Each structure stands twice: as structure tokens, then as C-alpha cells.
Chain A
Amino acid sequence: MSVNGQSAPGPKEPTRAATPPAAKGTGTPAAGSGTDLAAGAAAGPAASQLPQVRRAVIVGGNRIPFARTGGAYTKSSNQDMLTAALDGLIARFGLQDERIGEVAAGAVLKHSRDFNLTREAVLGSALSAETPAYDLQQACATGLETVLGLANKIKLGQIDSAIAGGVDSASDAPIAVSEGLREVLLDLNRAKTLPQRLQVLSRLRPKDLTPDAPNTGEPRTGLSMGEHQALTTAQWKITREAQDELAFNSHRNLAAAYDAGFFDDLLTPYRGLTRDSNLRADTSLEKLATLKPVFGKSLGSAATMTAGNSTPLTDGASTVLLASEEWADAHDLPKLATVVDGEAAAVDFVHGKDGLLMAPAFAVPRLLARNGLSLEDIDFFEIHEAFAGTVLSTLAAWEDEEFGRTRLGLDGAFGSIDRTRLNVHGSSLAAGHPFAATGGRIVASLAKMLHAKDRVDGRPARGLISICAAGGQGVVAILEAH
């Protein structure tokens, strides 16, 4: 596993700088693959041949407070939490017995019995039982991907309303039997006679009885997400101080948002919890500085990632109500923001070409180029804080001339962002990160912020969401004030 995956030009290195996109569309196919920005931009003119699409608006959202694993929601299942988040949304917007076009949600840590998790949650909620639902899973990008997929259906006129969401419980995580025991049990079921059964049972070994618990390790590298990020953090020379400062701002901003009542119409308490239990309103840079590194210890003095600047395992659920403008109007519901566009990217972290969580560094430039935008055109940045190092590595990559030229195919650095626009009401370091629920948390909060900001220089306020995910993936999106 190499730490300098970014520096080695890959086989798909673009040969020229990206040309400005010719059309601003919402459905332009992202041609090419991997990190090829030029190919995506070149496909721009095809947009004019796309059918007319209508707007998909964000009406609002609801989530339950996020709880540190082993805390308030220890005994709550994914279905319990998703149902609670749905019911809060239904209560806020008066959706009782409403047949919603479609509900999509998912969980990263999922029991096999929960194959129809979202539909079961719908059936347990106050929605009409005639509301269809499906499960989706794209690791930590699950929540954002449900928003994008459902928004696209609304844009195409396939549905008029939708609820996107996500839920995760690391407390109530599935534990599977070992592969050995599983094979024996399945063969036992197929065996017809007593001698056959005994023969199958004789294959059982004591080690087969050890259960198979889930872990956050990447199957292809065996490294945990934190260890992966530690390599990336070190590669981009992100300091401990910078990470601690980002974590401190996250706690401070989230606490201020709670105090200002920002979450009064975004959150419904659950199981006695009224705020995210990971939030430390009284934390300080000094306190954060005392924590010992927990990831990248093999790096010695370069180890900078602590429990303070990494997100803890968290339980929680979130939902977002999406609609066509007509549906929202007919139901006298607010229209906070529109879902403009989204983009997914993936990196080859397995061979060390890029860091595990660096896909958004490629997805964002592609998305902005397709929409004829630059970083200066964004009023709010919501960059998911898987680790403080993830956010800072991504920003460092964008500010890096070499990265811009060789990996993004630009003339120079992609650019830097105005830090005062970054995660202004806190993010995952403070709120916690129940994997699939993070997308919904961010979309609903950003939509509310954009609605409040309304317009900037005569155009709708604009926000960018960036979420990294396991498997070297990333999903990003642009929202605009309605």
C-alpha cells in the first residue's frame, strides 16, 4: 500500500485541460470513468438533446439526534430509528395517510432480515401503506444517493413526491455465523439421511463457532478506514493542529446552531435524546490537543489522527422530503431548495493510486465543470467530516498545482475555498456519523441554510455537498435556494 498514490500518473491521465462546458444541464451523462474530467466535460453539448426536465425541490427534513454507539439507541434497530425519523417528518409536514411517490433509504450495516428495510419502515409509519419503497446502499454515500436518485425521478416526471433517507446502527450491528458454520448448516439442510447428516456435522471445527462480526476494514486492503485516512493525511502533510481546529469548529458551530434553534424544525427527539450525544459544546483546542493518536500509529511522529478529530461510530436516522414544485404547492408545503445536479466518482485506492476517501476530490471538479461553476460560486460547502484529515486532504488536493494538472487535467490548482463557508453549522465530527444517515442530515440542513440565505448577487444561494464513502467512492451534489 503506497501513500503517494496521488503523485503517480495513472493510465487514464487526461491529455489536455478541460474545456468549459457548453451547456448547463442536469442530466448530462458523465462520460468516461475514473478520474477523467476532460471526457466528462466534452460530453457537455449532448445536453441540448435531453428531454425537458422539471425541478425537484427539497421541502424539508427530519432526523433523530445522532447517538454515540452503545448509548441511547443501543436497543434500537435500524427499522425502529428509520420509522421514528419518518414519523417525525410526517408529523412536521402533515403527511398522514399520504401516498408518497416513492421512499428510498438504506443502511450500511444491515441485517439480512432487513432486506426490505425501507418498505417495512413505511408500513410501520403513519404514511399510506400504498407508498412504495426501496432500499439502496452505497456505503456512506447512501443517504445522498437516495436524494439524487429520487430527485431524478421527480425531474423526469415519474413521481411527484419522495422521501429519501438513511439509517445506521453500529450498536445493533448484525453478527453473522462463520463461513465454516454457515456451509455446514446449509449442507445439513440438504442432507437427507441420518448418516449424511452425521457426516456433514463431523466437518464442524471449534473455530467455526466464532461469530463473524462486522468491521470497518476495507475487504481488499484489510486496512480500516482510519488507517487508510492516516496514510492520506500524512501524504498531504495535514497537521495535527489543523485537524484539531476543524474538529473544534465543528463542535462550536453545531452547538451554536442548536442554541439558535436551527434544528427545531430539522430534528425530532428520540429515546430521551434531544441533541446529538457526540456534541461537546465545551470542548477546546487545548482539550483536543491532549488526545493521543489512534490511527496511523505506525507512522510515528506523523501520527495525527485522534478520537477528537475522527468521527466515532454512531447510531441514527435521517429523512428528506422531496417533491415537484406542483406537488409542494398543492400541499401548501415550503420549497426550500432545488436539487441541481449530482456526481459520483471512485478512486483506485487498492493499488495506492489515490487515498481511500479522496473520490470527492475528483467528483467535485467534474460536477462544477459540468455546471459551468467554480469554487467561488459556492456559498456553502458541506464537506462530510469522516475525519478532519479527509476534509483537509481534499482541500489540499484542490489547492495543489501538481494535482490539478496531472490528476484533474487542469492548467493548475483547482482552487481554494473560503473557509468561513465550510460546514457553518457543524458536521460529522460533532454530530456523529451514522453512515447512511449523514447524507439526509446534510441535505436537509443545507436546504434550510440556502432558503434563509435566499439570494447572493441576484442569483439563488448555492451549496455543495461532498461525501466520501468506503470502497474508494464519493458522491457530491449541488443544491440551490428555491
Chain B
Amino acid sequence: MTDKYTQFVSRAPGRDIARKLGLPQPVVLRRHKPGQPLITEPVLVQGTGTGADELAATLLAWDLDVRRHAVPKEKLGAIILVLDELARPEDLARPVLTAATSLRDLAPNARVITVSRAASDSADPAAAAARQGVDGLVRSLAKELRAGATANGILLAGGAGTTSPSTLGALRFFLSGRSAFVDGQFLTVSSAEGQLPADAEKPLAGKVAVVTGAARGIGAAIARTLRRDGATVVVVDIPAAGDHLAAVANEVHGTALQLDITREDAGERIIEHAVERHGRLDIVIHNAGITRDKLLANMDQSRWDSVIAVNIAAQLRINEALLASEHFRNSPRIVSVASTSGIAGNRGQTNYAASKGGVMGMVRATAPLLGVHGGSINAVAPGFIETEMTAKIPFATREIARRLNSLQQGGKPGDVAEAIVFLASDAAGGVSGEVLRVCGQNLVGA
């Protein structure tokens, strides 16, 4: 549900009032619906190298309306800025300033996507400077764009090129409504691993996915999105949440596993359930998490311990079981839910932020272990998401938290789910050890 203010300012007279008063003007974001085209308006591919040419050819094959040069006054659905051959900071000027002339022609909910090389991959100071410059450029541009338009970047590292499977997978994700609440972010494609789906509507067909904390909120949305994309879903939550869990299981035609993930044998129980009931296990989504907020000065042992136990220790223990299991060897995927609190910090959440920071460290270190089996592990860090939990925040605080991002609204549980389910797909197989923020480019700690 879009919040009432966003509804109010999305049409007259609310739109005019907000404009005159200089109030935030959030728009209703374009979100993916099954059967919807990737993008309807023309896509401008800017860049002169072979990488840009190859990419443009691929997009043409997707039946997109591709432009290599802007047509004045024509509304654009996206600008793809291919910057993979940057050698010096001066190289930025021409492609960037050319793209700038088209910015006013962007349609609502348009996309600007850069494709460039990771600065960390270059030992040459000038090249590293140029590459790192893209980072600042995209993050600033994202703050300039209006009307639901976003700017994100794809970084090529290792053996990845402009048309590697996961580069294209990431491009599709950023172009589509699936990335509605992802803004000002980069996704690093570090290998030529991965595979685009045979059926773009069912990228997870034949996969068996487990999602923890699935009884409500973001977890339930993840379960629904996994199901929508073709996966068979096992939903897990603590026994006390079993009634909500059963409702989700029945909705997604999956099975419910009532299990406390902090149990010693939780990993084994999850593997056993998935394999015995559904024959295999391909995807595990670590979504279960709790908050026990308190200023550190007032923190007690049980608040600290319970948050660490559920949010990170349980994930580590389950991952150990997964890594040891012969049933989790066929392009296995793990996606963990982190939090922007773990990146930027949040007053009263030292325990929570420590656990979520832990998730990101765990993801980075686990990536090579899963890579051995052609697998991947990533994290998604949600910002302000409209859930039952955030609905309890006092009105004024909530209103500020919700508007303090480039899209001037809160995200939906489904926005987080889209990012997670994308990272759980084979199209993202070349992305591993990464953290993707779904926060609308939160102004705090961005």
C-alpha cells in the first residue's frame, strides 16, 4: 500500500499544493507485475567502445527500443551509460555530459544505469580515479533525479564483461520494476558465472527455496516473490508464529516448518525437510531477525545475546550445515537480510547493528566457500520499509524516516523481496559476497 501522502501528491490538487509549498513530491513507483514488459519507453545506450556496442546488440535482441543517440524531446525509459573503457578522470566528461542533455527527457520511473569497471581492480592511479569517480557521479545523480527515476551502477570485476550473464541479469533487474526502491547503489559482477533464465517470468522454476522468518512482513513477501518466480517454497518460523506461517505456506503452496533457527540442529532440520519433502535444496534466505533496542548504556545481557543469537549466530551455524551437506552443491544460493543500520548505525541499535554488520562480514567470507560449488552468497540491506514493525513508530518520527531518501517514501516488503529473489537467481550467479541496499538512497549514512 502506498502511503497516504504519496497518494495525495500523485494527482491534482495535492500535486500542485505540494509543489507550491516545496513539500516532498514522491510518486507511485513502477513495480514489477507478472507479464509486464521490462521497460516500455526507448532505452538510450551511451558509449562508444565495443562493450557498449555488444550491450546495445543484446538489448535489441530483448526487443527493447534501443537508441544509440538521443532523439530530442523523445521520452526515454532508461539511459545506460557504458563507461567500461575509462582510463583517466578526463574520460568521464564526454559520455557524461552527452547523457546530461537527455536527463530532462526521462519518463517518470526511468532508469539511469552505469556499467563501469571496479576501481579496486586497477593498479593504475588514473584509471582507479576515473573508475571511483563513477561512484560519486551515480550517487549524486540519483539525488538529482525526480519522479521515481533511479540511478544505479554495475561494476565489472574479475572476468566479467559488459555482456556476461550476471551483467545482463543485473541490467535487467535495474531496468525492471523489480528494483523500484533501489537507488544510488552499485552491484559488482565479479565473474562470468551465472545464467539468464529460459523463461524471464519464472527464473526460479524447478528450484527449492527456504526462507526463514516467513510468517509475516518481509519474510512473507519473500515467500510470495519466490513462488511467483517459480520456486517451490519452504517457509520457516518459530513455532509460536505457526498460525501466520501456515497461512503464508498455504498462500504460496509451500510447506511450513515450525523451527526455532537458534536450535543447534536447525540447519540439519532445514536440509532434511527440503530434501525429504521436495527432493532438493537450492536457495536459503536468511530473513529471520529480531530487534531489542536499548541505548548501549542501558543494554542488558539478554537483549544483546538474543539479537546476536538470532540475527547472526544462527545464520552462521545453518551455513555450516549447508556447506557440509552434499545436498547443497548444485549452484547453491544464500541471501541474508542485513540492514542499513549495520552500515550507517542507528541510535539505540548497537546490538542490532553489530549483528547486521556481522551478516555482511559473514557474507563476504562465505562467498569463496560457496564459490567452490558454483554457488553464491549475498546480503540485502533494507532501509525504511513499510511493515507492521515500522507502522508502530510514532507518526512524526515515521514521517521523517520515510521521507529522508531520494524517492521520498518508504519501501514495501516486496521491494526487499525483489532484490533478494534476484540475488537468489542464477542470473545473479556472477555476483557473490556483495551487499545490495534497498533503501531508496537513504540520506542518512548513505
Q: Which of B241, B246, B253, B255 has the most CB of A within 10 A?
A: B246
Interface contact B240-A274, CB-CB below 8 Å: yes
Q: How far is the CB of B264 from chain A (nearest CB, A)?
A: 11
Interface contact A261-B263, CB-CB below 8 Å: yes
Stretch with Cβ within 8 A of B (4 or more), from A263-271, A344-352, A372-380: A263-271
Among candidates B240, B242, B259, residue contacting A88 with C-beta atoms closer than 8 Å: B242
Interface contact A268-B253, CB-CB below 8 Å: no
Interface contact A93-B242, CB-CB below 8 Å: no
From B235, which residue of chain A is reached at the shortest CB distance? A91
Which residues on B sit within 8 Å (CB–CB) of A34? none
From A271, which residue of chain B is reached at the shortest CB distance? B243
Q: How far is the CB of B219 from chain A (nearest CB, A)?
A: 15
For window 301-338 of chain A, which residues contact chain B by CB distance below 8 Å?
332-334
Contacts known (A332-B277, A333-B277); A269 close to B250, Cβ less than 8 A: no
A241 at the interface (CB under 8 A from B): no
Interface contact A269-B277, CB-CB below 8 Å: no
Interface contact B276-A269, CB-CB below 8 Å: no
Interface contact A265-B258, CB-CB below 8 Å: yes
Among candidates A87, A263, A267, A270, residue contacting B250 with C-beta atoms closer than 8 Å: A87
Among candidates B243, B253, B279, residue contacting A270 with C-beta atoms closer than 8 Å: B243
A211 at the interface (CB under 8 A from B): no
Interface contact A88-B255, CB-CB below 8 Å: no
Which residues on B sit within 8 Å (CB–CB) of A179? none
Which residues on B sit within 8 Å (CB–CB) of A97? 253
Contacts known (A84-B243, A269-B243, A274-B239); A96 close to B278, Cβ less than 8 A: no
Contacts known (A126-B250, A261-B263, A332-B277); A91 close to B239, Cβ less than 8 A: no
Among candidates A87, A92, A265, A269, residue contacting B240 with C-beta atoms closer than 8 Å: A269
Which residues on A sit within 8 Å (CB–CB) of B255? 91-94
For window 239-287 of chain B, which residues contact chain A by CB distance below 8 Å?
239-243, 245-247, 249-250, 253-260, 263, 276-279
Q: How far is the CB of B154 from chain A (nearest CB, A)?
A: 38
Interface contact B279-A263, CB-CB below 8 Å: no
Q: Which of B239, B242, B256, B277 has the most CB of A within 10 A?
A: B242
Which residues on A sit within 8 Å (CB–CB) of B242? 88, 267-269, 274
Which residues on B sit within 8 Å (CB–CB) of A261? 239, 260, 263
From A332, which residue of chain B is reached at the shortest CB distance? B277
Which residues on A sit within 8 Å (CB–CB) of B263? 261
Which residues on A sit within 8 Å (CB–CB) of B249? 90-92, 94, 96
Q: How far is the CB of A408 from chain B (nearest CB, A)?
A: 43
Q: How far is the CB of A334 from chain B (nearest CB, A)?
A: 7
Q: How far is the CB of A197 from chain B (nearest CB, A)?
A: 50
Q: How far is the CB of B266 from chain A (nearest CB, A)?
A: 11
Residues of A contacting B: mostly = loop
Which residues on A sit within 8 Å (CB–CB) of B254? 94
A-B contact count (CB 8 A): 65
Contacts known (A261-B263, A264-B259); A269 close to B253, Cβ less than 8 A: no
Among candidates B247, B253, B258, residue contacting A94 with C-beta atoms closer than 8 Å: B253
Interface contact B247-A269, CB-CB below 8 Å: no
From A258, which residue of chain B is reached at the shortest CB distance? B239
A338 CA to B262 CA in the complex, in Å? 33
For window 262-304 of chain A, which residues contact chain B by CB distance below 8 Å?
263-265, 267-270, 274
For window 235-274 of chain A, which residues contact chain B by CB distance below 8 Å?
261, 263-265, 267-270, 274
Interface contact B241-A269, CB-CB below 8 Å: yes
Which residues on A sit within 8 Å (CB–CB) of B241? 269
Which residues on B sit within 8 Å (CB–CB) of A265? 257-258
Interface contact B239-A267, CB-CB below 8 Å: yes
From A270, which residue of chain B is reached at the shortest CB distance? B243
Which residues on A sit within 8 Å (CB–CB) of B250? 87, 90-91, 96, 126
From A333, which residue of chain B is reached at the shortest CB distance? B277
A91 CA to B253 CA in the complex, in Å? 8
Which residues on A sit within 8 Å (CB–CB) of B257? 265
From A274, which residue of chain B is reached at the shortest CB distance? B240
Among candidates A264, A268, A274, residue contacting B246 with C-beta atoms closer than 8 Å: A268
Q: How far is the CB of B349 from chain A (nearest CB, A)?
A: 28
From B248, which residue of chain A is reached at the shortest CB distance? A91
Q: How far is the CB of A270 from chain B (nearest CB, A)?
A: 6
A84 CA to B247 CA in the complex, in Å? 10
Interface contact A91-B277, CB-CB below 8 Å: no
Q: Mark A70-94, 1 if CB is under 8 A from B, else 0.
A: 0000000000000010011011111
For window 188-221 of chain A, which residues contact chain B by CB distance below 8 Å?
none
Which residues on A sit within 8 Å (CB–CB) of B259? 264
From B258, which residue of chain A is reached at the shortest CB distance? A264
Which residues on A sit within 8 Å (CB–CB) of B278? 332
Interface contact B256-A92, CB-CB below 8 Å: yes
A377 CA to B25 CA in the complex, in Å? 77
Which residues on B sit within 8 Å (CB–CB) of A268? 242-243, 245-246, 256, 258
A194 CA to B6 CA in the complex, in Å? 65
Which residues on A sit within 8 Å (CB–CB) of B276? 332, 334
Q: Which of A94, A126, A332, A334 has the most CB of B within 10 A?
A: A94
From A265, which residue of chain B is reached at the shortest CB distance? B258
Q: How far is the CB of A474 from chain B (nearest CB, A)?
A: 33
A93 CA to B239 CA in the complex, in Å? 16
Q: Which of A87, A93, A263, A269 has the most CB of B within 10 A?
A: A269
A353 CA to B332 CA in the complex, in Å? 69
A124 CA to B256 CA in the complex, in Å? 19
A126 CA to B256 CA in the complex, in Å? 14
From B259, which residue of chain A is reached at the shortest CB distance? A264
From B273, which residue of chain A is reached at the shortest CB distance? A265
Q: How far is the CB of B246 from chain A (nearest CB, A)?
A: 4
Interface contact A88-B243, CB-CB below 8 Å: yes
Q: How far is the CB of B341 from chain A (nearest CB, A)?
A: 29
Interface contact A96-B279, CB-CB below 8 Å: no
A383 CA to B250 CA in the complex, in Å? 34
A268 CA to B245 CA in the complex, in Å? 9
Q: Mark B336-359, 1 if CB is under 8 A from A, else 0.
A: 000000000000000000000000
From B243, which residue of chain A is reached at the shortest CB distance? A269
Which residues on A sit within 8 Å (CB–CB) of B279? 332
Which residues on B sit within 8 Å (CB–CB) of A264? 239, 258-259
Identify 30 residue pairs between A and B in the complex whose beta-carbon atoms are under 8 Å apart, listed by A's number.
Answer: A87-B246, A87-B247, A87-B250, A88-B242, A88-B256, A90-B250, A91-B246, A91-B247, A91-B249, A91-B250, A92-B246, A93-B255, A94-B253, A94-B254, A94-B255, A96-B249, A96-B250, A96-B253, A261-B239, A268-B242, A268-B243, A268-B246, A268-B256, A268-B258, A269-B239, A269-B241, A270-B243, A332-B276, A332-B278, A334-B276
6 residue pairs, one from A and one from B, having the closest CB atoms: A91-B246, A91-B249, A91-B256, A126-B250, A94-B255, A268-B242
- Known contacts A97-B253, A269-B243; 20 additional CB pairs below 8 A are A87-B250, A88-B243, A90-B246, A90-B250, A91-B246, A92-B255, A93-B255, A94-B254, A94-B255, A126-B250, A261-B260, A261-B263, A263-B239, A264-B259, A265-B257, A265-B258, A267-B242, A268-B258, A332-B277, A332-B278
